[in-house]
Chains A and B, each alone.
Chain A
Amino acid sequence: MSVEHLVVVGASLAGLRAVEAARKAGFDGRITLVGAEEHLPYDRPPLSKAFLEGDRLDGAPEIPLFRSGETFRHELDVHLMLGEPATVLDPERKVVCVGQREVAYDALVLATGATARDLPGTQGLDGVHTLRTVDDAVAVRAAFEGGARTVVVGAGFIGSEVAATARKRGLDVTVVETLPTPLQAAVGRTMGEICSSLHTRNATGLRCGVSVDSVEGRARVERVVLSDGSVLDADLVVVGIGAAPSTGWLAGSGLVVDDGIHCDATLWTGVEGVYAAGDVARWYNPLFGRAMRLEHWTSAAEQGARAARNALDPATARSYSTVPYFWSDWYGSRIQFVGVADADELVIVDADPDPGSRCVALYRAGDSVAGAMTINAPTEIMKYRGMIAKKASWRDALSFAESRRAVAGVS
């Protein structure tokens, strides 16, 4: 059966790319894009970076929209259903329920992303925010403008970017992290330690190995009490303790959901006509021979496009494989990571005497190079992404690193 109506649920990066790829592939049937937020699709990485900065001459920054409403309606010819979530998927009848309406589909792409985790016990207290949506970012920005004493809970990438931006504005900031070393799962212990030195070097307070006991205040937050009994006065608490895939609405749909929607290498969910993409998708990445769920911009964009093409023509579906990639900007330093960090060995192949200001590190898995991370070495990182994609041997990666060092030494 050929597809007449493509429905995409989740109107953010992956959803947008799904819609655009469908049109680019020549699909001229109907497209409906369903999004829970009122806003047109917008870009999230700037929300913890430029959007929070204060040095703009023209006042408050605009929402980083990807496309205008005009473009959706006319160029892409997409029917937008914004401001209400999809609540039910019935794959037998091939319908999605949005509010009181039923939307019938021939092909469906699920791109509902992830939702920030709340800190338990802080509901209803003003001045406590997660940072996932533009509405969150507007609130954090307003608090920054009021000179808020800021506590960031969670020293992950988003929390660290928020802390760096707050410092740039001259605010008092403390980051609280339960683990002894920040970012251990994402980049391993050694590199986590090097990253966290950026905080201390920039006069951001860093409290590792303690957790938040309670967040107190009458209507607004006034202080944060930590597990070691110490108290941090605060006007703003930004909670950056991770995100969970937005799959609650799929209960009872028959889809396999467990930390993400399970998909095969072509992003197919196993249910006829239904594909998934972006932060919500747990798919089989052939390049690494295992299932993964990423929360990275690049893969969300690419998966959105791939899922739509596959959904429109399952007979010619292609698998999606990738070397994971993400970046993060703190205190004017650019951190970049490619591949996977759960490796057998980590070697810092090039570094300044202070590795926090510049370094290149490689991760070994068995005999091959599995990951690479750089701080302020933008010309190095992508060379390793190529090597990881080609499953280059560990020895080749090390000798390549050696040759790069030699080049740098000469120039």
Chain B
Amino acid sequence: MKVVVDYGKCTGLGICESLAPDVFEVNDDGELELKQSSVPEGQLEDVEAAVEGCPTEALRLEPDDSSADTE
């Protein structure tokens, strides 16, 4: 699975970082950076919690093979 961020919605609150710090990090300017876009082994539950925990609903999980560029 890979993580997709809607930067139009994300306000850099960082809840995702506290739940899955290997994947998400908010930088000094308050912008979210993905340290890696695919979900690391054994961390799916953490990343799912981050997707659910995001107050702006800016995060989404997509299957790796999804070739559809819907946006």
Contact = CB atoms under 8 A, between A and B. Distances in A.
26 contacts: A43-B55, A45-B55, A298-B53, A298-B55, A301-B53, A301-B55, A325-B18, A327-B13, A334-B12, A336-B13, A336-B14, A338-B18, A377-B28, A378-B12, A378-B14, A378-B28, A378-B30, A379-B26, A379-B27, A379-B28, A381-B14, A382-B15, A382-B17, A382-B26, A386-B18, A386-B21
Given A325-B18, A379-B28, A305 B52 contact: yes
How big is the B interface, by class? 10 to 19
Contacts of B13: 327, 336
A88 to B, nearest CB: 33
Given A298-B15, A378-B28, A389-B18, 12 more contacts: A298-B55, A301-B52, A302-B52, A325-B15, A334-B12, A378-B14, A378-B30, A379-B26, A382-B14, A382-B18, A386-B18, A386-B21
A383 interface: yes
Contacts of B55: 43, 45, 297-298, 301
A43 to B, nearest CB: 8
Nearest to B32: A378
Contacts of A323: 18
Interface in A379-393: 379, 381-383, 385-386, 389
A223 to B, nearest CB: 38
Nearest to B30: A378
Interface string A42-83: 010100000000000000000000000000000000000000
How big is the A interface, by class? 20 to 34
Interface of B: 12-15, 17-18, 21, 25-30, 52-53, 55
A323 B21 CA distance: 15
Residue among A334, A336, A378, A389 facing the most chain B CB atoms (10 A cut-off): A378
Which 5 pairs, one residue from A and one from B, show the smallest C-beta to C-beta distance?
A385-B18, A382-B17, A378-B30, A382-B18, A382-B14
A257 to B, nearest CB: 28
A378 B17 CA distance: 11
A383 B12 contact: no
A383 B13 CA distance: 13
Contacts of B30: 334, 378-379
A266 to B, nearest CB: 17
Interface in A290-328: 297-298, 301-302, 305, 323, 325, 327
Contacts of B26: 378-379, 382
Contacts of B29: 378
A343 B12 CA distance: 27
A280 B53 CA distance: 19
Nearest to B24: A382
A327 B53 CA distance: 14
Contacts of B28: 377-379
Nearest to A358: B28
Contacts of B18: 323, 325, 338, 382, 385-386, 389
Contacts of A43: 55
B30 to A, nearest CB: 4
A323 B15 CA distance: 11
Contacts of A385: 18
Contacts of A298: 15, 53, 55
A20 to B, nearest CB: 9
A336 B14 CA distance: 10
Nearest to A66: B57
